[in-house]
Every structure is written in structure tokens, then in C-alpha cells.
Amino acid sequence: MGILSEYISFMLERQDQIMELTAQHIYLTFIAVIFAILVAVPLGIFITRFERAAGVVVGIANAVQALPSLALLGFLIPVLGIGSKPSIVMIFLYSLLPIIKNTYTGLANVDRAILEAGRGMGMTNWQLMRMVQLPLALPVIMAGIRISAVTAVGLTTIAALIGAGGLGQLIYRGISMVNNKMIITGAVPAMVLTLVVDYILNILERAVTPKGIKKSKR
Amino acid sequence: MIRFEGVIKRYGDTEVIKGIDLEIQKAEITILIGPSGCGKTTTLKMINRLIEPTDGRIFIDGRDIAQLDPIELRRNIGYVIQQIGLFPHMTVAENIGLVPFLKKWPKERITERVEELLELVGMSPREFMNRYPSELSGGQQQRVGVARALASDPEIILMDEPFSALDPITREQLQEELFNLQQGLHKTIVFVTHDIDEALKLGDRICIMKDGHVLQFDAPEVLLKNPAHGFVEEFIGKKRLLRAPELMKAEDVMIKDPVKAHPRRTLAQAVEIMKSRGVDSVLIVDEQNKLLGIATARDISESFDRKKRLEEIYAKNVISVRPDETLSNVMKIMAEENIGYVPVTKDNGELVGLITRSSLINVLGKRYFQKA
């Protein structure tokens, strides 16, 4: 019997708990990232229209990103208390920047000649955005969402510190009990979760790449 | 059809269009041409209001376009730009059908129209409808571009250097096709180019622009015959003027560096000179490059002696013509005198060139070749 099987049996004993914490972990990440998408994509679209706002918005998102996550949690606790609420807000704030940035660059990099052709053919701004700019920028936007989501899975482990639950809980308990098995029991599923999220979003990213562009890249 | 009245466009302090008055005729191809920065593209884009004039008015069919809804206006004007203008994420059919789609045509009617247009530009609908632009050659892409501009059967089509990114052979092919297409469609086409060959090939009327001004707006024949401005002449190019044969001068067809020799040269040297240049005659000139006569290979071989000098044998009193002699006169002289060579000299006798039968054939042949 090696160390490996020891770990496995340790994990199997806590199967139910792991499943529950994983579900919680997914839930926290999911809610935060969905909100981030809902806010960041329109914000990214908005700043391509109002170039002057772009610097301010990206600057603020950058500053938030630069703030240590522990400190951010600290700031949020007096306002939102402990538990899942401040955690979701923290993850949400961290997820904004990559999505805003990628939405902005994706839209800004659409060939000007194509936009002019569209405008010259009588497309309204809204039609241009919906029928031309967004479809062409979607792969880049999706890449931003992927970065955010993968980061968010990692961040959610920190959320356990203020009682939000998730796989971080096992890790913290392991640390305080100096129990490596416990740490690994939390870390391995978190790692797997990160890889799975990355994998799924990668597939999604390719799926939204317009056919005509995929072929030209080959 | 399209009328510009005192149109001015300013960007800050720089005036790019300095008061243009133009009357573009219905069912004609009007070419806007000029060096880069002359304002030709700006002028074009003011027609579909992609650019708004700072001052002046533009009328289409007597209606001031500033009063029209720009979106509606653009949907009723075809627009073709350089090859990149196709939407890469849409199929050929979606690209062509875009304006009809925006105009909310029923689906079947759009499909029908797309097929019809693909046939019109010589592409098989079955084969191409569902392809993406990236799967087409440059020429095919631009054919789709033209088809897309024709989709809702607009009266007016604007083309902004549509063929400039294509290779020369494809370009000529598309120019030809556009010309043929126009014979059946009779659209009012405004076409921007910087290529004078393209302009002369396609234009019913050519508008030459420079620094925001219209220098001349005339039919190609008029431009060639009476360039109104030194710049116009320069822009069209001397060579182009040759195409009107009555305008050709001796200097336009002559060989500019004829084989020549000094009379003191020996016959042996003269033979060497002729051999090295691959000719059978040599013009005799003095130190001032004044024409003295001509020596042919036959003259030399008849009295060949290595030591003899050219001055002893060459033919004096050669008939020569002035550089500004018309081509028809030159040919008349050559026929009447039954000579194969006519040197071209200035009034003071200085040699400037030589017209031979083969140089004539070269120039005239090129003319017909280029026309074809």
C-alpha cells in the first residue's frame, strides 16, 4: 500500500463532503463570472463608442485587479459581512478586467474597411455591432471570459477564508491541522475543476469563432 | 443625376475639397482620378454621406441629399471598396444578400436575387453561394463585391478603387467584365482610381482632380486631345497622348539613341559599331552632334578597305525631319522617297533621333495591342 492509495481512501471517505464543496465552489464561481460578463461586455462595447471613457474604465479595472485579493476581501467585510456575498463580489470584481479588455480590443480590431463597407451599405450602428463587430470579436471576448473564469476558480478557494465555503475550506482546515492529506483533498478537485473549466471554455471559444475566419487562419 | 454645388470639405484648418461643382450624368461611368490626397475618395464618400460636406450641396435627381435619411440613402446606392470589404464571417450568399436583407425582402426573393447576381458576374451559384470570402481568390472576392453592390438594383453605384489590390491580369479581366456589365445595366457609376489606364478604359467621363480642385471634367477623347491644364497633360502622360494618331509627332516614334559615328572613323570601326548594336546603318555626326549623313552596311561593303574612313564613302544630303513633324507626314516622306530611315534633327541640324520602319511598326503595333 503506497501513499497514493492512502490518499485515495482518505478522499473516498470524504466523498460526499468533496462533492458538496465542489458544487459550492462551482456555484460561487459561476454566479460571479456570469455577473462579470453581464457588466463587462456591455462596458467593453460602451468604451469602443466613447474612446475617452476607455482609459478611465480600463484604468479602474486595472487598479481593482492590482489590489491584493485578501485586502479586497477585508474592505468588503465591513460592508457586506462574511459568507458568500462578499466573496462573490470579490470574484466578480477580479473577473471584470480581462473581459472588458478583450471585448474592447476584439471590437476595436475589427477591420475598419469592413466597418466602412457595412456603413456604406446602409447598416445602422446597432446592426453593425450585432451583425458584424460582435460576431467577429466573439472569439477574443470568449478568450477574456476564459481567463476570468479560470482565475475565478482559483480565487474562490480564498473565499473560504471568510466562510463562503467551497474547496478552499478543506485546504484551510488542512493547513490549520497540519494535515497534508486534507490539503490535497481540497487542492486536487480545485485543480481538476480549473482544468475542466479551461477545457470547456476553450471548446466554446472555438465554437463561436465564425466559420469564415477559422478557415482563413488555417 | 448627381450634382455637386460649391462643395467644400474642411478638416480643422485644412481644406481638402475646395469648392467643387460637378454634374455626373445618368447611366455613365464617371471616373474620379488624381494623385493621392487630391480629394477623389472624399468626393465619392460625400455622395453616400459617409463624409458630410462642410459647405455646399449635393443633389441626387434634384433632391438635396442632406435632407434624406443617410441609412435609406446608402441602401439605395451600391458601394464597392477594395477587396477587404466583404464580411469574412458571412457566406457569399449572405454578403450579396445583405442589403436586400436590411431592406426586409422575403427570404425566397433574396435567394433568387443572389443566384441571379452570381450568374451575372460569372460565378456558379451552386458552387459559390455557401463559400466564405476567405475561400475565394482576389478576383472572385471582388466579383462578389460588385454583385453585392448590385443586389438591390440601385441606380447609383460608387466604386472606390475596387480593382487596385488585384494582380494586373485579374484587374484587366474585371475591368472588361465591368465594362460589359455596364452595357446591359446602364447604371450611374462613380469610380475612383489612381490608374489613368483604368480611367481611359472604363470612363465615359473623367474628372481629373488635384489638391481639392477639379482640373478637368471631360470625355476621354477630349482629355487626350485638349488637356486643359499642364498638370492634366502630365498626368495623362505623353505616351497616352500618342494613342490619338493625329497627335503623334516624329519625336514620339523615333529611336532616341540611334547608332552614330564620327566621319573620321575607319570602315573597320564602323562595322564593329554596327555589329555591336545589331544594326545595318550608322548615322554620321560631327563633334557637335550635327547630322552629316548616313552610311549603310551596303555602302561600306561595296567599297570595303580597312583603312578607308567613313568620310570618304558616306551619303550626304540625307532627308531628315523635325521632331514636331506629324507622323502622317513622316510616313508620306518615307513612302515618296522610298527610304527606310529618316533621321530626326533640330533646326540647327543637331541629331535627336532616328525613325526606321521597325520603330514605326513597334509604336503603331503597341497602340493596337493596347487597344485590344
The nearest CA of chain A is from the CA of B101 a distance in Å of 11
**Any domain includes B176:** yes
Nearest chain A alpha carbon to B158: A120
Is the same domain home to B257 and B225? no
Are the beta carbons of B209 and B41 closer than 8 angstroms? no
B149: helix, strand or coil: helix
- β-bridge mates for residue B343, sequence order: B354
Q: Which of A111, A127, A215 sits opposite B135 (nearest CB)?
A: A215
**Any domain includes B241:** no
Q: Which of B81, B132, B148 sits opposite A211 (nearest CB)?
A: B132
Q: What is the CATH number of the domain that holds B119?
A: 3.40.50.300
Is the same domain home to B75 and B7? yes
**Any domain includes B128:** yes
Is the same domain home to B186 and B226? yes
Is the same domain home to B281 and B185? no
User: Considering only CA atoms, which of B103, B194, B197 is closest in space to residue B153?
Assistant: B103
B119-158 pLDDT tens trace: 998 899 999 999 999 999 888 999 999 999 999 899 999 9
Check CB contact under 8 Å for A118 and B90: no
Is the same domain home to B285 and B332? yes
Q: What is the CATH number of the domain that holds B358?
A: 3.10.580.10
Looking at the complex, does the CB of residue B281 fall below 8 Å from at least one CB of chain A? no
Q: Which letter, b or e, does each residue of B151-177 get, where b requires 16 or more Cβ atoms within 10 Å of its Cβ?
A: bbebbbbbbbbbbeebeeebbebbbeb
**Alpha-helical segments (H) within B86-156:** 92-96, 98-102, 107-120, 125-128, 138-150
Terminal Cα distance for chain A, rounded: 50
What pLDDT score does A71 carry?
A: 87
Tell me how far apart the alpha carbons of residues B8 and A203 are, in angstroms, rounded to a whole number: 53
Is the same domain home to B227 and B254? no
The nearest CA of chain B is from the CA of A113 a distance in Å of 6
Q: Which of B84, B85, B102 sits opposite A127 (nearest CB)?
A: B102
The nearest CA of chain A is from the CA of B83 a distance in Å of 9
Strands B63-64 and B55-60 turn out to be antiparallel
Is the same domain home to B215 and B363? no
Tell me how far apart the alpha carbons of residues B25 and B271 are, in angstroms, rounded to a whole number: 62
Are the beta carbons of B216 and B184 closer than 8 angstroms? no
- β-bridge mates for residue B260, sequence order: B283
What pLDDT score does B242 carry?
A: 52
B219-242 pLDDT tens trace: 887 887 778 777 887 777 765 655
Tell me how far apart the alpha carbons of residues B116 and B93 are, in angstroms, rounded to a whole number: 11
ipTM of the predicted assembly exceeds 0.85: no
Check CB contact under 8 Å for B84 and A114: yes
In 10 A of CB A206, how many CB atoms?
11
Cβ-Cβ contacts under 8 Å, B134 against chain A = 212-213, 215-216
Percentages of chain B per state (helix, strand, coil), in multiples of 5: 45, 25, 30
Is the same domain home to B147 and B208? yes
Chain A with chain B: Cβ pairs closer than 8 A: 75
Is the same domain home to B198 and B267? no
Out of B236, B254, B285, a domain closes at: B236
Tell me how far apart the alpha carbons of residues B40 and B22 are, in angstroms, rounded to a whole number: 12
Structure confidence at residue B366 as a pLDDT band (50, 70, 90): low
Check CB contact under 8 Å for B72 and A122: yes
What is the number of domains present in chain B? 2
Is the same domain home to B90 and B181? yes
Q: Cell 455591432, residue?
A: A129
A149: helix, strand or coil: helix
Tell me how far apart the alpha carbons of residues B364 and B217 are, in angstroms, rounded to a whole number: 28
**Any domain includes B168:** yes
Looking at the complex, does the CB of residue B11 fall below 8 Å from at least one CB of chain A? no
Q: Which letter, b or e, does each residue of B71-85 get, where b requires 16 or more Cβ atoms within 10 Å of its Cβ?
A: bebbbbbbbbbbbbb
Interface-testing mutation among A112, A121, A126, with chain B (most B C-beta atoms within 10 A): A121
Range of the domain at B297: 246-368
Out of B207, B236, B265, a domain closes at: B236
Out of B202, B236, B270, a domain closes at: B236
**Any domain includes B58:** yes
**Any domain includes B56:** yes
**Any domain includes B44:** yes
**Any domain includes B278:** yes
Structure confidence at residue B372 as a pLDDT band (50, 70, 90): very low
Check CB contact under 8 Å for B81 and A113: yes
The nearest CA of chain B is from the CA of A56 a distance in Å of 27
Letter for the amino acid at B45? K
Tell me how far apart the alpha carbons of residues B299 and A78 are, in angstroms, rounded to a whole number: 115
Whether the per-residue pLDDT at B93 is higher than 90: the answer is yes
Cβ-Cβ contacts under 8 Å, B48 against chain A = 120
pLDDT per residue as tens, chain A (218 positions):
578 888 888 888 888 888 999 999 999 999 999 999 999 999 999 998 888 888 888 888 888 888 888 888 888 888 888 888 889 999 999 999 999 999 999 999 998 889 999 999 999 999 999 999 999 999 999 999 999 999 999 989 988 888 888 899 999 999 999 888 889 888 999 999 999 999 999 999 999 888 888 755 43
Are the beta carbons of B215 and B208 closer than 8 angstroms? yes
**Alpha-helical segments (H) within chain B:** 40-47, 70-75, 92-96, 98-102, 107-120, 125-128, 138-150, 168-185, 196-202, 220-225, 230-236, 238-241, 250-253, 267-277, 297-302, 310-313, 327-337, 357-371
Q: Which of A111, A114, A122 sits opposite B74 (nearest CB)?
A: A122
The nearest CA of chain A is from the CA of B275 a distance in Å of 57
Tell me how far apart the alpha carbons of residues B322 and B355 are, in angstroms, rounded to a whole number: 11
Half-sphere exposure of B308 (CA within 13 A, CB side): 14
Is the same domain home to B210 and B295? no
Is the same domain home to B110 and B139? yes
